[in-house]
Amino acid sequence: MTDQTQGPGIERAAIARVFATANLIVAAVIGLAVFRAWRPRALPIEIAAAIVMALLVASAVGLAARAAWGRMVARVAGIALLAAGLLVTSALTLGMTFFRAVGGSGAGPGSTVYLLAVLLALPYTLAYPIGLLLWLRARRPAR
């Protein structure tokens, strides 16, 4: 084998391992955010977070092992994470708007707190799943 034929395979495997590691990191961040940092306990939020975390861990295992099912589970995890990210970002934005409209500038947490929460949620719940889904789409076999 030449370096040309061997290079892309090694690069693809390395990128798959990077996404597998990133999936584990994102699952850990979600777990810390939902089960440690978020004080009010809400069963629907915890169930949704547990499902997304399980999908991310399963996809990490599949991508790292280069299993055939790994890409499909990674796609499902990316879609679930993107949907959850859209809901979280929408809820935070609507909450900030509600408190500003109803209570005025001094009511509830300051807008800086909400802005910080949105900016912390965006990379893990919107930017990362979009990147994952684009990478999976680029790796799709030709038909």
pLDDT in tens, the chain (143 residues): 444 445 556 677 888 999 999 999 999 989 998 898 877 888 988 999 999 999 999 999 999 999 989 999 999 999 999 999 888 888 878 877 787 777 766 666 666 777 777 777 788 888 999 999 999 998 766 55
Place of tokens 């796609």: 75
pTM (2 d.p.): 0.80
Domain ranges of the chain: 3-138
Residues 49, 55, 56: CA angle, nearest 5 degrees: 90
Q: What is the pLDDT of residue 3?
A: 47
63 Cβ partners below 8 Å, 6+ apart?
A: 16, 17, 19, 20, 23, 70, 71, 74
Helices (H), 1-143: 3-32, 43-65, 70-103, 111-122, 128-138
